[in-house]
Amino acid sequence: MSAQTSPRSVSVVGLGPMGQSMVRAFLDAGVEVTVWNRSTDKVDAMVELGAKPAATVADALDANEVTVLSLTHYAAMYDVLGQATDHLAGKVIVNLSSDSPEKARKGAEWVRSHGAQFLSGGVMSAGDNITHPASYIFYSGPREVFDAHAELLRPLSPQEYLGADDGLAQIFYQALLTIFHPWLLAFDQATAMIDRSGHSIAQFVPFAVRSAAAFPYFMEEFSVANQNGGWATLASLKMMDAGAQHIIDASEEVGVDATFSHTAQSFWRKAVAASEEKGEAVSTYALLRGDKV
C-alpha cells in the first residue's frame, strides 16, 4: 500500500496543551482524528475543530489502528488504557508522554503483554508549538513498527528514530531537558539581576542571544573532552569557583536569589578538593558521572 492510499486516521488520547497541538496538526494535514480525554471540556474544544469524540477509552482504541497518547506521565497511561485492556490486541500505541527511560521500557512491556505494538517518543518542541521549525520528535522501539506508521505520524513534527531500546527516546529527551531546565532558571536569575539593578531586560537580551552563539563551540569542545573523561586543570577549577562567587555577589547585592549559583559553586569546590586530594585535576564531568576519583 503506498503512503498516499494509507488510511489517514488516528486516535489521540490526552488533550493537554500538547495533545491539542497534535490534534490540530493532524487535522490540518487532513488526518481524521478521534479524541478522548479524562476531562470532557477539552474534548468539546477539539470537536469544534473537527475531531470526533470517543465516549470511552475503548471507543477511542476501537476507532483506529493507531492511538497516540499525550499524557502527563506513564502512570497516566495505566489509568487510561487500564480501562480498556481487552481492546488493545492488534492495536498500535504511540506514547509521546514524558517520563524516565525505565518507566518507558516497563510501559512498553505492559502494552505488549496486552497484544498491542508500542512506540515511545519524546517531543522535543519549542513549548507546545510542534510546528515551530526547531521542533522534532524522538522515537524509539521496533524499527518495523516505526516504519509502518511514520507517514501517519509525520504531521506532528520532523521525526528522529533513535533505535530499538524502548527507553532511548526518553534518554535523549531527558538529557536535552537536563540542559534546558538549568538554562531556563539561569535566564530568570540573569534577567532578575538586570531588572533588580534598575536596568533594562530588553537592552540585555540581545547580548544573551549573542553569547549563546558560543554554546555550539563549547558543546563540541566538551563533548570531545567528556568522551575522554572530562577536562579540567586546577587553575581553571579555581577560576570557576571565584567566578561563581562574583555571580553570587552580583545577584545577592540586589536581592536576587543565587541558590542556583551556590550549587554551581559547590561543584567547582568539590572538584578543586578532589583534585588537591588526588594530586591531579578531577573534572566536574567525572564527578557528575559518578566516577571513582
What does the binding site for ligand NAP look like in residue numbers (CB under 6 A)? 14-19, 37-39, 42, 70-72, 76, 79-80, 97-98, 123, 125, 127-128
Query: Which contacts (CB < 8 Å, 24+ apart) does range 243-250 have?
Result: 244/268, 250/193
Q: Look at strands 136-140 and 117-124 and give their pairing.
A: antiparallel
Quick one: 24 or 42, whose CB is closer to ligand NAP?
42
3-state secondary structure of 98: coil
Least separation in angstroms between CB 45 and ligand NAP = 11
**Which residue's CB atom is positioned nearest to ligand NAP?**
16
Cα(292)–Cα(174) distance, integer angstroms: 24
Quick one: 124 or 240, whose CB is closer to ligand NAP?
124
Quick one: 79 or 188, whose CB is closer to ligand NAP?
79
Least separation in angstroms between CB 60 and ligand NAP = 12
Q: Where are the beta strands (DSSP E) in 85-230?
A: 92-95, 117-124, 136-140, 159-163
Quick one: 92 or 123, whose CB is closer to ligand NAP?
123
Among candidate residues 120, 126, 8, the one with its CA nearest the CA of residue 68: 120
Least separation in angstroms between CB 118 and ligand NAP = 16
- CB 126, CB 134: distance < 8 Å: yes
Least separation in angstroms between CB 72 and ligand NAP = 4
Least separation in angstroms between CB 39 and ligand NAP = 4
Grid cell for residue 150: 511514520
Least separation in angstroms between CB 260 and ligand NAP = 22
Least separation in angstroms between CB 125 and ligand NAP = 5
Quick one: 144 or 188, whose CB is closer to ligand NAP?
188
Quick one: 115 or 127, whose CB is closer to ligand NAP?
127
Q: Which residues fall within 8 angstroms of residue 37, CB to CB, at 6 or more apart?
A: 13, 14, 15, 19, 43
User: What b/e sequence results for 254-264 when a residue is b if at least 16 CB atoms lie within 10 Å of its CB, and e otherwise?
Assistant: eebebebbeeb
Instruction: Output the CA–CA distances (angstroms, integers) from residue 182 to 11, 85, 177, in the order listed.
Output: 35, 39, 9
Amino acid at 76: A
Quick one: 128 or 252, whose CB is closer to ligand NAP?
128
3-state secondary structure of 53: strand
